[in-house]
């Protein structure tokens, strides 16, 4: 599969080499974060110590465009550092949150290797590429129903756009991530690195999803989807969607989002999720939400778009496990030069988080942020600090 793909890239580059309009863009990030655990854990020697560790991750690549055709290449990696205590905790960090450098296959340092075609109404991308950039746009603000998979993927994706709706489809064979699989959190993608691996469970899994994004007057968005995950007999079927209602103006706006899903994986289960956000002058935000997951099974996902920070800086909490009923409230600030998120969640998942950042540089070509905060996840406290440079 990889040999055929790289051969296709070579053929494509020859076909478009005679094009007149050539563009060149770079993309990626480099950053580090550190988690200062406040609650002590047993280090295996009978002593209790505070769990501390840091992570550094990087990705760098370029895209060359020849009219409607683009080719991209990139590399990525990540390492933990200053881990304390030793023993079981160190092993969890080195082998759970990160893939050890010696275990990374040589071709898995290659994060991006793709061919992309963009016309007025149609976009197609294949190879290794960033799903979030393809569906959400470079600014992350494009409305769509691709909520449960994101990040770097090996596969094929497409979009067919009309005035009122967009049909999309996605196939993924392997995925790569930087730990937290939530692209919308402050300081994300800094405390983990997992090389490309099968998207599901088993040795030969395939992730297939398709849906329609309906846009009614830039006010009502309806996004139904269906997902099928083929994985060694334990296949997953999901039928779901999202309805979003946007009202108001720049002075005061409201965004109401309802997500629902039926899933069959061993057993039948479901998700119902309501989220409400208000904004004042596109600066101050506040709101809340509630969701429930069926008792017969948790929701299968490789990514999610919750507001929580419990997984962003080194935990492996499943927010959507079986039988969870959770409510939350939040507030914060969003500005070109600073961001702040404050959240309180309770019932079957508990979180108190205050995370902020200052954007020292923020323009069309680069962004440099420095930040930190405090996260209490199910009664485990930690302080965090980070810096991230994106381009």
Which pLDDT value is given to residue 2?
54
Ramachandran area for residue 70 (φ above 0: left; ψ -120 to 50: alpha; else beta)? beta
Tally of structural domains, the chain: 1
> Own/partner pairs for 357-366, CB < 8 Å, 24+ apart?
357/186, 357/187, 357/386, 362/336, 362/337, 365/391, 366/390, 366/391
Which pLDDT value is given to residue 201?
72
CATH code, domain carrying 188: 2.40.160.10
Q: What's the Rg (C-alpha) of the chain?
A: 21
β-sheet bridge partners, residue 26: 62
Tokens of 171: 């196939």
With beta carbons less than 8 A apart as the criterion, state whether 271 and 293 touch. yes
Which pLDDT value is given to residue 13?
52
Which pLDDT value is given to residue 189?
94
With beta carbons less than 8 A apart as the criterion, state whether 355 and 331 touch. no
| Residue 305 structural domain | 2-390
Which pLDDT value is given to residue 47?
77
Which pLDDT value is given to residue 45?
66
Q: Which residues fall within 8 angstroms of residue 206, CB to CB, at 6 or more apart?
A: 171, 172, 173, 199, 200, 229, 230, 231
Residues of the chain with pLDDT under 70: 1-20, 44-45, 202
């Amino acid at each position: 599969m990889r040999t055929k793909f790289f051969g296709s890239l070579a053929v494509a580059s020859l076909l478009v080499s005679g094009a007149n309009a050539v563009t060149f863009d770079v993309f990626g990030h480099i950053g580090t974060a550190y988690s200062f655990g406040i609650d002590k854990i047993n280090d295996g020697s009978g002593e209790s110590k505070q769990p501390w560790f840091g992570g550094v991750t990087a990705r760098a690549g370029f895209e060359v465009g020849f009219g409607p055709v683009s080719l991209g290449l990139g590399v990525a990696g990540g390492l933990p550092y200053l881990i304390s205590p030793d023993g079981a905790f160190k092993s969890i960090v080195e082998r759970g949150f990160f893939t050890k450098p010696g275990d990374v296959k040589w071709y898995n340092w290659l994060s991006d290797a793709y061919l992309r075609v963009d016309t007025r109404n149609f976009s197609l991308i294949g190879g290794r590429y960033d799903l979030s950039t393809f569906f959400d746009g470079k600014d992350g603000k494009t409305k769509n129903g691709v909520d449960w998979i994101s990040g770097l993927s090996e596969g094929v994706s497409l979009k067919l756009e009309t005035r009122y709706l967009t049909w999309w489809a996605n196939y993924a064979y392997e995925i790569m991530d930087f730990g937290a699989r939530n692209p919308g959190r402050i300081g994300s993608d800094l405390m983990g690195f997992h090389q490309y691996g099968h998207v599901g469970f088993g040795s030969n899994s395939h992730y297939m999803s398709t849906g329609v994004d309906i846009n009614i007057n830039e006010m009502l968005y309806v996004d139904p989807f269906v997902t099928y995950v083929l994985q060694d007999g334990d296949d997953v079927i999901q039928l779901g969607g999202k309805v979003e209602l946007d009202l108001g103006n720049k002075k005061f706006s409201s965004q109401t989002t309802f997500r629902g899903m039926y899933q069959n994986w061993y057993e039948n289960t479901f998700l119902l999720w309501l989220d409400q956000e208000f904004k004042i002058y596109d600066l101050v935000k506040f709101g809340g939400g509630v969701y429930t997951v069926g008792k017969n099974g948790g929701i299968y996902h490789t990514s999610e778009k919750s507001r929580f920070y419990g997984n962003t800086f080194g935990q492996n909490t499943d927010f959507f496990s079986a039988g969870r009923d959770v409510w939350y409230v939040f507030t914060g600030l969003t500005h070109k030069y600073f961001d702040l998120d404050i959240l309180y969640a309770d019932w079957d998942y508990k979180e108190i988080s205050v995370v902020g950042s200052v954007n020292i540089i923020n323009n069309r070509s680069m962004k440099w942020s420095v930040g930190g905060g405090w996260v209490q996840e199910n009664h485990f406290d930690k302080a965090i600090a980070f810096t991230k440079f994106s381009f």
